[in-house]
Amino acid sequence: MTRLRAVLVSLVVTMTSLVAITATTTTPAHADECYSWGRSLSSGASGADVAELQIRVAGWAGYGVNMAIDGSFGPQTVAAVQGFQAAYGLEADGVAGPATYAQIYELQDPDCTPLHFSYDEVVPDCGGTGFSGGSVPEETVKENLKRVMWRAEALRQRIGNVPLTVSSGFRSQACDVEVGGSGSGQHTYGNALDLIGVPFCTLADNARYNGFGGIFGPGYPDHDDHVHVDIRAGNTWSAPDCGV
Ligand SMILES: [Zn+2]
């Protein structure tokens, strides 16, 4: 190899590594650390990436729609993506592409929980660490908590990006009994959050639009000091003092 050619090869190698470094540092951090979508998704698509999308937009499918996380991009997912896009000022075309993913990455923490909620604030209600002792395995509890937190993020955005506080999240079965529950309630699945921080009727009223199957608030026994929301199947709502 001539000296000139060696210099040129070395230059190309240097430039290649520079490009690689640039590519690495410009990738959105949240996308890397939690989950990144590799394709645009629209009506008719299916797969694990659709389910990951559904988890993050499920709070936007519309009034009374408690959508399934089934990996199948049907009409509810179209509506949910449109609702999400509209809520964040994007073109509401119902197609999840780069702009939608960029918004999700902005909202997504490295552990895949939404920006304004964390596992740290849904810790066991009676003390302790971790999420064992519930009605389902710990990993399932954490997955359920992630899903209910994304819907709470939607509720937070819907009422004007106002901070919400979780007064109770996960409960082990023993804890659920200790606080007067049945021992097998929604909190023992990681499905439920008790929320405070804004007027309770504002929470109960608006939660109907954000994918919560269970809503209990003022006027329902023992729910005058918080609003309970959960992601059970179907809709069971009662906050009679709020007209819900
Ligand atoms: Zn509750």
pLDDT in tens, 59-114: 999 999 999 999 999 999 999 999 999 999 999 999 999 999 999 999 999 999 99
* Cα 23 to ligand 1 centroid, rounded to whole Å: 45
How high is the pLDDT of residue 49? 97
How high is the pLDDT of residue 125? 86
Q: Same domain for 69 and 83?
A: yes
- Domain CATH code at residue 206: 3.30.1380.10
Q: Of residues 30, 116, 187, 223, which has the active-site annotation?
A: 223
Q: Same domain for 217 and 123?
A: yes
- Tell me the β-bridge partners of 236: 214
Question: Is 3 a domain residue?
Answer: no
* Cα 229 to ligand 1 centroid, rounded to whole Å: 7
Torsion angle of the four alpha carbons 139, 140, 142, 146, in this order, in degrees rounded to the nearest 10: 140
Q: Which domain holds residue 33?
A: 26-112
Q: Are 176 and 204 in contact (CB under 8 A)?
A: no
How high is the pLDDT of residue 3? 52
Closest CA to 95 of 52, 50, 58: 50
* Cα 35 to ligand 1 centroid, rounded to whole Å: 30
How high is the pLDDT of residue 7? 46
* Cα 194 to ligand 1 centroid, rounded to whole Å: 5
Closest CA to 131 of 110, 161, 111: 111
Look at the chain and count its residues.
Answer: 244
Question: Is 103 a domain residue?
Answer: yes
Question: Is 197 a domain residue?
Answer: yes
Per-residue HEC secondary structure of 120-174 comes to HHCCCCCCCCCCCCCCCCHHHHHHHHHHHHHHHHHHHHHCCCCCCEEEECCCCHH
Q: Same domain for 48 and 128?
A: no
Question: Is 15 a domain residue?
Answer: no
Q: Are 87 and 60 in contact (CB under 8 A)?
A: yes
Q: Which residues of the chain have pLDDT under 70?
A: 1-32
How high is the pLDDT of residue 25? 40
Question: Is 9 a domain residue?
Answer: no
Q: How far, in Å, CA of 241 to CA of 237, rounded?
A: 12
* Cα 29 to ligand 1 centroid, rounded to whole Å: 34
Query: What is the domain count for the chain?
Result: 2
Question: Is 226 part of the annotated catalytic residue set?
Answer: no
* Cα 187 to ligand 1 centroid, rounded to whole Å: 6
